[in-house]
A and B are shown apart, each in its own frame.
Chain A
Amino acid sequence: MSVLTVIPVLIPLCCAVASLLARRSIRLQRKLAVAGTAALLFAAIGLMTAVLHHGVLCTQSGSWPAPFGITLVADILSSVMVMLTGLMGLAVAIYSLASMDEARERSGYYPLLHMLLAGVNGAFLTGDLFNLYVWFEVMLIASFVLLALGGERAQMEGAIKYVTLNLMASALFLAGVGILYGMAGTLNMADLSLKLRDTGHHGLITCVAMLFLTAFGVKAALFPVFCWLPASYHTPPVAVSAIFAGLLTKVGVYSLLRVFTLIFTQDIPYTHTIILWAAGLTMVTGVLGAFAQNEFRRILSFHSISQIGYMVMGLGLFSPMALAGSVYFLVHHSVVKTNLFLISGVAEKLGGSFELKKLGGLYSSSPVVAGLFFVVAMSLAGMPPLAGFVGKFILARAGLEAGQWVIVGVALAVGMVTLMSMTKIWGEAFWKGSPGTALPQPPSRKVLVTLLVPVAFLAALTVLTGIGAAPLIHVALRAAEQMLDNSQYIAAVLGEGMR
């Protein structure tokens, strides 16, 4: 059973190595991309089922008992995230088959993609703070390369900002880990949780918590340290943007959720109020940023920021309902934002540009694409009965229960502006008449179908998790309970006697 916690890291790792060794055969790499991500999804479903039925699962890697070795832990939150990785990985792998250019494929696109997934899953599953740093770096370097792969000028410019700010964040993270080890003498997160409980040394712990908040805040793209995201997300090929949008910032949010429910709970009124403020400001600045844009992918990038605010809002509110809202929102946003990026790629293939000004007429010429976009965009905007509404609703409810009227007002208002900028894309790219520039070569039917398969699949998912929200909310609530009462997690990692 416990082997299930390793497999989600091992599958992409092995696929990466295999693709690397099969450097010369793109066909093999393509097959491996789909097969590997499908296997990953399958494994993630297995892990999820096991965790839901048997509680928190652990692997003590190398058989070294916790807290001495590195423990891999899968609680519900982790397994939900791993599931997302599988889903997004598969969707993007299929999409890549029809959209990635051969030059990039030859230059190691597929190994990088697998390695990115391995890093992301490692981050989700590790129970060790330094190991989290390592997986973060795996994920980062993979994303650095994916972002820059191809060497176009815009890519270079975006990559410099992305790389520099993320390295800065990593340095902060590392410093935080070091100080924490010096203080508590351990790196295992469950052990840290125990050892930092009731310590009285609030000052230094809170200070370190702030280092982590900033470091993860950069990775999650929180206000005011999100600037790398809008500078870079729209520069690489669409498939890369899509997987970034679906997973990378989520790792930051996941880490915030993890450390601020497990380790830094000594001074909740202080730390979590700051988090709530950051959440509100992130929502507002992100959505305003999007409102000012006129390019498909830039609008989406800025919305990623604003939506991160919602996820973090749940953490700031710190109640079961609120945390469940965060988890639900994480899932919802990955599914939807990845898909919107994928659709932006389809629109580009059909209309020849990402600029709204140069697009148009897709509502008449491509009703299927238009319909898919509309559903997904409305989900992002939080319209019922789609998943985005459910997430917003739960967070609003939790906020009102906590008496935090302002943040709820902000969240709802931001939803409105989101709706407006989604209708902007809709109005310009779809409703508006075609600007009349003929495409050099419209995509073949086969290409289009391959592109639309993952799009339709993810769109169906956002409808299903909206109308049939109950199961996912149930899971999210259970995940929230596990986060708030971390005794299960700690007992699973350290053994029953260590509570």
Chain B
Amino acid sequence: MENLLALVIGVLYAAGIYMMLRRSLVKLIIGLALLSNAANLLIFTSGGLVPARPPLIARGESALAAPFADPLPQALILTAIVISFGVMAFALVLFYRAAEEAGADDLDRLTSTDT
């Protein structure tokens, strides 16, 4: 399963990167979203897969019984998901406004500030 997930991660990265390299703002943000999913999945996988043993301590117990899914990567990913959600929401609005200012969705029309 790990090998399969590694492949999935690779595909997500490839798709994300390809989308980001387009000229469309919408595709760019879709690419970003794919990329953050890929990163999260990468963390999840490299932390080790443990099927169906969530890190929930049973009522009355005082500790998790091994084997259990590593709770720390989960917490990290959760934080990362929330952060990327926030950032994505902002980026969406930003891109919308940029497209509005530029009158187009085309990134190639947004090059005036560079040189």
Chain A residues in contact with chain B, CB under 8 A?
130, 133-134, 137, 140-141, 144-145, 148, 151-154, 156-161, 163-164, 167-168, 171, 174-175, 177-179, 181-183, 187, 227, 230-232, 234-235, 292
Q: Are A181 and B47 in contact (CB under 8 A)?
A: yes
A151 partner residues in chain B, CB cutoff 8 A:
97, 101
Contact of A174 among B43, B101, B114 (CB under 8 A): B43
Task: Identify the closest chain A residue to B115 (Cβ).
Answer: A292
Contact of B36 among A156, A171, A231, A232 (CB under 8 A): A171
Complex CA–CA separation, A292 to B115 (angstroms): 9
Q: Are A134 and B79 in contact (CB under 8 A)?
A: yes
Task: Identify the closest chain A residue to B103 (Cβ).
Answer: A153
Q: Are A144 and B47 in contact (CB under 8 A)?
A: no
Given contacts A144-B90, A167-B32, A177 and B98 within 8 Å (CB-CB): no
Contact of A175 among B43, B94, B111 (CB under 8 A): B43
Task: Identify the closest chain B residue to A166 (Cβ).
Answer: B87
Q: Are B79 and A235 in contact (CB under 8 A)?
A: no
Of A134, A160, A187, most buried by chain B (CB within 10 Å of CB) is: A160
A160 partner residues in chain B, CB cutoff 8 A:
25, 94-95, 98, 107, 110
Complex CA–CA separation, A137 to B40 (angstroms): 15
Q: Are A167 and B87 in contact (CB under 8 A)?
A: yes
B46 partner residues in chain A, CB cutoff 8 A:
178-179, 181-183
Given contacts A144-B94, A148-B94, A168-B35, A157 and B110 within 8 Å (CB-CB): yes
Q: Is B112 among interface residues, defined by CB-CB distance under 8 A?
A: yes
Q: Is B28 among interface residues, defined by CB-CB distance under 8 A?
A: yes
Interface readout for B70-94 with A: 1 if CB under 8 Å, 0 if not? Answer: 0011001001100100110011001
A158 partner residues in chain B, CB cutoff 8 A:
113
Complex CA–CA separation, A2 to B28 (angstroms): 44
Q: Is B48 among interface residues, defined by CB-CB distance under 8 A?
A: yes
Task: With A159-B98, A160-B25, A231-B114 given, name 6 new contacts (CB 8 A).
Answer: A141-B90, A163-B94, A167-B91, A171-B35, A177-B76, A179-B46
Residues of B within 8 Å of A, CB-based: how many? Answer: 38
> How distant is B114 from chain A, measured CB to nearest CB, in Å?
5
> How distant is A240 from chain B, measured CB to nearest CB, in Å?
14
> How distant is B27 from chain A, measured CB to nearest CB, in Å?
12
B20 partner residues in chain A, CB cutoff 8 A:
164, 168
A141 partner residues in chain B, CB cutoff 8 A:
86-87, 90
Interface readout for B34-48 with A: 1 if CB under 8 Å, 0 if not? Answer: 011011101110111
Chain B residues in contact with chain A, CB under 8 A?
20, 25, 28, 32, 35-36, 38-40, 42-44, 46-48, 72-73, 76, 79-80, 83, 86-87, 90-91, 94-95, 97-98, 101-102, 107, 110-115
> How distant is B11 from chain A, measured CB to nearest CB, in Å?
15
A167 partner residues in chain B, CB cutoff 8 A:
32, 35-36, 87, 91
A174 partner residues in chain B, CB cutoff 8 A:
36, 39-40, 43, 80
A137 partner residues in chain B, CB cutoff 8 A:
83, 87
Complex CA–CA separation, A181 to B46 (angstroms): 8
B102 partner residues in chain A, CB cutoff 8 A:
153, 156-157
> How distant is A274 from chain B, measured CB to nearest CB, in Å?
23
Task: Identify the closest chain A residue to B86 (Cβ).
Answer: A141
> How distant is B36 from chain A, measured CB to nearest CB, in Å?
6
Complex CA–CA separation, A183 to B42 (angstroms): 13
Given contacts A137-B83, A177-B76, A178-B76, A157 and B43 within 8 Å (CB-CB): no
> How distant is A220 from chain B, measured CB to nearest CB, in Å?
19
B47 partner residues in chain A, CB cutoff 8 A:
178, 181-182
Of A134, A148, A164, A168, most buried by chain B (CB within 10 Å of CB) is: A164
Complex CA–CA separation, A113 to B105 (angstroms): 30
Q: Are B86 and A156 in contact (CB under 8 A)?
A: no
B115 partner residues in chain A, CB cutoff 8 A:
292
Q: Are B94 and A178 in contact (CB under 8 A)?
A: no
Closest A-B pairs by Cβ, 3 of them: A178-B43, A182-B46, A156-B98
